[in-house]
């Protein structure tokens, strides 16, 4: 197979790669990732990078590659990104969500920020390095994985459980939802590097009571018993719990602004984070949100059972305390079971890789101020961290101050600025060369 010209740079082709990848519909669970995994493998093969495709289930495919570095005795750096996306209803969008349209200097489409942008930046960069014959200082392991949007059971979890040897010697990793800018003013931008994630515990609550005719008096009703429990849980005000990571975020904010905010005084410092405030505001406490209710089959029949689903997220170290409070709120006659559980992760904002990320950002943006943060959602870091890998969210983007970036995750009209993609490629180029 002929190779593309060595003169083609990562900045030249990152937009084209992202557009092509968006056009491969990988909506989870209806559109398995196999076509995207094969596309990635072909793009790697074009520049002489060997890869393998591993399926956790029919069509649920991940592409894995290893690029030899100058010193293969050093632990490799893992760069992982997921290929699946959440579904999109075209009637809600300004553009076809799977057309990969370039409009107003943005690439539009489902996955543009979550997270095919990082996939494209990574792919563009390693292709440029391969064409130019550049060798990274240490081995790089690439993992373009499936099923992240459904918890990774047929993606990163599967790879860690069944093929840990592919990552066994990795000690550090970078991936999504970090390294993006939050403008404080025209001259200063925080770059939020994700070093921690809240844990997940999706619960099913169940109330039972004798069924009966809807026209009669019933002293115990499963529906009202459950509704009372759900109301107490949904309206509970969880106390602030400041983790080491949130404290470090506030310390970084103080260093930039010259203020002396106390981390516990959330309402004082949180508004400065603009569009990121809503997500980071959810990381200073546990949360428990009722999301689904199910009961009955006929309007004149009192059902014998009623169920509710609760999406709970806990800050690192707080799971048992959160569950104890939930049981107290649920009250008598309510049972709970776990539908899905995954760990919280947290790693210190220190070390050579952190220094290299910060230096790479500052080299491309003199107004950059890198700070760590705790994310309210979850990524495949939950899986890879179980192998002892320190995981960071670092998909660098310099964003316009007016763009509400966090609202685009799983939102409508998902898009990423072309300039931000090129910025990200330059930052990643510096990072890989330095680490």
pTM of the model: 0.93
Two tokens, residue 208:
């039972």
Q: Binning pLDDT at 50, 70 and 90, where does residue 219 land? A: confident
- As a whole number, mean pLDDT of residues 315-332 equals 96
Q: Is the peptide bond before 115 cis (omega within 30 degrees of 0)?
A: yes
What is the rounded (10 degree) CA torsion for 355, 359, 361, 364?
Answer: -170
**198-342 is classed CATH 3.30.60.50:** no
Q: What is the pLDDT of residues 189-202, one digit of tens each?
A: 999 999 999 999 99
User: If you search the block for the tokens 């470090």, which residue do you land on?
Assistant: 248
- As a whole number, mean pLDDT of residues 197-213 equals 95
Q: What is the pLDDT of residues 237-247, one digit of tens each?
A: 999 999 999 99
Residue 387: its pLDDT value, please?
97
Residue 2: its pLDDT value, please?
42
Q: Which residues pair with 66 in a beta bridge?
A: 141
Let me know: does 141 contact 66? Beta carbons within 8 Å.
yes
At residue 315's C-alpha, the angle toward residues 314 and 321, to 5°, is 60
**How far is 414 from 85, CA to CA, in rounded Å?**
11
The listed CATH number (3.90.25.10, 3.40.190.10, 3.40.630.10, 3.65.10.10) that belongs to domain 10-195+347-434: 3.40.630.10
**How far is 191 from 201, CA to CA, in rounded Å?**
29
What DSSP string runs through 225-289? HHHHHHHHHHH--PPP---HHHHHHHHHHHHHH-----TT-HHHHGGGGGGGHHHHHTTSS-EEE
**Cα within 13 Å of Cα(350), Cβ side:** 4
**How far is 113 from 46, CA to CA, in rounded Å?**
25
Host H or E run for residue 255: helix 244-257
Query: Same fold for the domain at 10-195+347-434 and the one at 198-342?
Result: no
Residue 1: its pLDDT value, please?
36
Residue 218: its pLDDT value, please?
84
- Domain boundaries, given as residue ranges, for the chain: 10-195+347-434, 198-342
Distances (CA, A) of 307 to 199, 220, 304: 23, 15, 11
């Amino acid at each position: 197979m002929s190779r593309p010209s060595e003169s083609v740079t990562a900045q030249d082709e990152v937009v084209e790669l992202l557009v092509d990848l968006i056009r491969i519909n990988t909506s989870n669970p209806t559109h398995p990732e196999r076509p995207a995994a094969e596309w990635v493998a072909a793009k790697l093969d074009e520049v002489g990078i060997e890869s393998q495709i591993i399926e956790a289930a029919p069509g649920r495919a991940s592409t894995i590659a290893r690029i030899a570095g100058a010193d293969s005795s050093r632990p490799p750096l893992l760069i992982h990104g997921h290929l699946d996306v959440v579904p999109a209803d075209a009637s809600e969008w300004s553009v076809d969500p799977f057309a990969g349209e370039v409009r107003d200097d943005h690439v539009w489409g489902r996955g543009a920020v979550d997270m095919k942008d990082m996939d494209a930046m990574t792919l563009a960069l390693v292709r440029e390095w391969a064409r130019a014959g550049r060798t990274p200082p240490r081995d790089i392991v690439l993992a373009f994985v499936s099923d992240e949007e459904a918890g990774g059971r047929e993606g990163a979890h599967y790879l860690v459980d069944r093929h840990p040897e592919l990552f066994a010697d990795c000690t550090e990793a970078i991936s999504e939802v970090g390294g993006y800018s939050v403008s404080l003013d025209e001259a200063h931008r925080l770059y939020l590097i994700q070093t921690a994630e809240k844990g997940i515990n999706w619960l099913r609550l169940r109330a039972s009571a004798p069924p009966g005719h809807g026209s009669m008096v019933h002293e115990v009703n499963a529906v009202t018993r459950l509704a009372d429990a759900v109301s107490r849980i949904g309206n509970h005000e969880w106390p602030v719990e400041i983790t080491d990571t949130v404290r470090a975020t506030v310390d970084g904010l103080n260093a930039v602004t010259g203020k002396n905010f106390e981390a516990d005084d959330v309402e004082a410092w949180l508004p400065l984070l603009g569009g990121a405030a809503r997500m980071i505001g959810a990381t200073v406490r546990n949360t428990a949100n009722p999301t689904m209710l199910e009961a009955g089959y006929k309007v004149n029949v009192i059902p014998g059972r009623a169920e509710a689903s609760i999406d709970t997220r806990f800050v690192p170290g707080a799971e048992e305390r959160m569950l104890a409070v939930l049981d107290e709120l649920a009250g008598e006659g309510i049972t709970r079971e776990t539908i899905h559980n995954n760990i919280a992760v947290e790693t210190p904002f220190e070390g050579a890789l952190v220094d290299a990320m910060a230096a790479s950002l500052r080299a491309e943006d003199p107004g950059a101020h890198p700070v760590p943060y705790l994310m309210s959602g979850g990524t495949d870091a939950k899986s890879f961290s179980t192998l002892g890998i320190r995981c960071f969210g670092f998909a660098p983007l310099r964003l316009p101050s007016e763009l509400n970036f966090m609202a685009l995750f799983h939102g409508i009209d998902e898009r990423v600025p072309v300039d931000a993609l090129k910025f990200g490629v330059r930052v990643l180029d510096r990072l890989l060369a330095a680490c």
